[in-house]
Amino acid sequence: MTVISRLRAPTSILLKRRLTASRNSHGLPLAASLSARWLSNDTAAASNEGARYSDVLIVGGGVVGCALARQLNQRLPSLSVHLVEARDAPTSKPASSNEIPHPRSYALSPQSLDILGLLSSEETTSDEMANQDVKLGWYDAMQIWEARNPATLRFHADDLPFDEAKLDRPKMLGAVVEDGPLVRALWEKLESHPQTTISTNTTVQDLQLSSNGQGVVTVETSDNEIHQTRLLVAADGAQSPIRQRLGVKQAQWDYGRQALTFTVELSQDDRIPRTAYQRFIHGQEAGRGPLALLPTHSPRHAIVVWSTTPEMVKKWKETDDNNALIDHLQNLLQTGPQRLPPLVESKPGQVPPLLSNVLFGVERLLETVQDAGAMLAATNSRSWMAPPKLSKIVSPKLSFPLACRNVGQYHHASNRVVLVGDAAHTVHPMAGQGLNLGLGAVESLVESIVESEAVGMDVTYGLDSFLRKRHAANSSVIMGIHALHEIFAVQDNVPLMHAKSFGMNVMQQVGPLRRRIVQAATQGVVF
Ligand SMILES: Cc1cc2nc3c(=O)[nH]c(=O)nc-3n(C[C@H](O)[C@H](O)[C@H](O)COP(=O)(O)OP(=O)(O)OC[C@H]3O[C@@H](n4cnc5c(N)ncnc54)[C@H](O)[C@@H]3O)c2cc1C
């Protein structure tokens, strides 16, 4: 831990309001409210005496906050970083911990794994975090389907372009990583860095910006410390007290859905291949919404992420009959794509023969175009494969509310406050992109600080251009995921179902298009 230099605080005080962390239904201190306690300028100025200084102050020690601190330590070792986290420091791995992966896990792209230092030529063996129990559930393929649709999307690592610079790396679509071991490994690295200090069980109480956007940000924390920093980064999660405190506007769509997630053991003789599965479920009774089965580092275990109605989540989360839940999911996952109903369902004589012939012709034409695409792309091996069978639930069942949110920009008008990770955006988990987007912004933020330092400028010098670009890129992914969610929600409109099926088949069969999508999902390439 570093001895922190002390600076005199600026006297310009704007307004101060008290932020209080509260706990959500899972007991996590993530939500915050403004208790509208206003401090007088004199009180505030007096409390700034003897403030602790850091070049970058990060609030929130989740994966995004820790990854940012770690990247800064690595790229700019002399930059001082302070991390404020509301919870305890992660505990070291309990001796009794077994091989069952925790359901709080993320499917991460190779680019994100790289940012986290989890990719190396020898896969996990020589990696800097390998000896700290960050185990990866690699996957080379993704299979996406709707049982009521004769279309399957199957993406494979072979779709990725040849990259000479990465020849020494495993070619894969991504890996599933558990949150706990990942945060613990990052945390341990931060603790041993001489320019990094950490406050745990601490929240931000007050925040003041200098009136002209110059100078420093002053932060009062719940441990009665006053901090000053050139850059305040809010990585404090979806309920971000700092975002709320600053009144940052955001676009928001509440899906009225929740995600239910847990770990399952596979049937005796089944192993999960290096494949991530996702089926879109239709029908109120089945529990409409995407159902994913993700590989883990243990070939005998997989993680279920089921995004569905709150009623369905409540029913299955509260049930004691986990066997019934397994049977239900088994049934859904083992049902492959089927033929669609005809464009017009009619009894003989109901539709004029001419119209009936035209519709028949349209259906055949769609099929022919799709078959021709299949022959051209020569991808016959990519037909639907049944996922492994499930045996039992072996973890707690967790649930999360789902919303799509996106702030208008990542840096606040003051230019000294930046929002990253879930503090800036959340997306539907169906594409497994939330953390990937947050880590992409971390990369841009670090690049901008590195460039600013290289030319001897203030850390905020390059923020605008770097973060604007990243915001535009992330926003298009967020909109894309939202649009996909809406498209897959279509279930009773037969012509639209035909169009969707056609679109999926075209995406699957037209090689260049499919490869572009795989590239976008794994390397953050934006169309
Ligand atoms: C069901 C589900 C599945 C998902 N699957 C994927 C996936 O496969 N791939 C993917 O990329 N993304 C996925 N996501 C998204 C991913 O979970 C989030 O994007 C990611 O966890 C965000 O990390 P974060 O560090 O920004 O926020 P968080 O993990 O929420 O961390 C915020 C931190 O800030 C701390 N904090 C909060 N308030 C304060 C305060 N006042 N003061 C100090 N500290 C504070 C908290 O204690 C916490 O440690 C999924 C999300 C869900 C709901």
290 lines ligand 1 (CB under 6 A): no
pLDDT at 36: 23
Identity of the amino acid at 394: V
Q: Whose CA is nearest to atom 52 of ligand 1?
A: 429
- Interatomic CA distance for residues 387 and 339, integer angstroms: 20
Write the CB contacts of 244 (distance below 8 Å, at least 6 apart in sequence).
32, 34
**Residue 77 in 3-state DSSP?**
coil
Q: How many alpha carbons lie under 13 Å from residue 408 in its C-beta half-sphere?
A: 6
The DSSP line for 454-501 is: HTT--TTTTHHHHHHHHHHHHHHHHHHHHHHHHHHH--S-HHHHHHHH
Q: What six digits make up the tokens of 346?
A: 């009619």
The atom number, within ligand 1, closest to the CA of 240 reads: 38
305 lines ligand 1 (CB under 6 A): yes
**Residue 358 in 3-state DSSP?**
helix
Domains of the chain and CATH, by start? 6-94+181-249+408-481 (3.50.50.60), 105-177+255-340+380-398+496-523 (3.30.9.10)
221 lines ligand 1 (CB under 6 A): no
178 lines ligand 1 (CB under 6 A): no
pLDDT at 424: 97
Write the CB contacts of 324 (distance below 8 Å, at least 6 apart in sequence).
none
295 lines ligand 1 (CB under 6 A): no
pLDDT at 211: 65
CA–chain centroid gap for 289, Å, is 18
Q: For each successive 10 residues of the chain (527 residues), what is the average pLDDT? A: 34 36 37 30 48 96 98 97 97 68 95 88 45 82 81 82 66 92 95 97 93 79 96 97 95 93 91 89 80 94 96 96 96 83 62 69 66 54 84 97 95 89 95 94 96 94 91 92 79 71 73 75 54
294 lines ligand 1 (CB under 6 A): no
- Interatomic CA distance for residues 489 and 484, integer angstroms: 8
CA–chain centroid gap for 103, Å, is 14
Spell 194-204 as b/e; 16+ CB within 10 A means b. ebbbbbeebbb
- Interatomic CA distance for residues 47 and 50, integer angstroms: 8
Identify the burial level of 354 via C-beta atoms within 10 angstroms of its C-beta, where 0-12 means exposed, 13-18 middle and 19 or more buried: exposed
**Residue 258 in 3-state DSSP?**
strand
Identify the burial level of 126 via C-beta atoms within 10 angstroms of its C-beta, where 0-12 means exposed, 13-18 middle and 19 or more buried: exposed
Specify the pairing of strand 136-139 against strand 6-7. unpaired
Q: Whose CA is nearest to atom 32 of ligand 1?
A: 237
pLDDT at 268: 79
- Interatomic CA distance for residues 518 and 525, integer angstroms: 9
> How do the residues of the chain divide into helix, strand and coil, expressed in percent and rounded to 5?
35, 25, 40
Identity of the amino acid at 446: V
Identify the burial level of 366 via C-beta atoms within 10 angstroms of its C-beta, where 0-12 means exposed, 13-18 middle and 19 or more buried: middle
CA atoms 179, 474, 512, 519: torsion sign: negative
Q: What six digits make up the tokens of 151?
A: 């279309």
pLDDT at 154: 84
pLDDT at 350: 67
Pocket test residue of 422, 425, 522 for ligand 1, highest count of atoms within 8 A of CB: 422
pLDDT at 40: 31
The atom number, within ligand 1, closest to the CA of 427 reads: 15
CA atoms 127, 131, 136, 140: torsion sign: positive
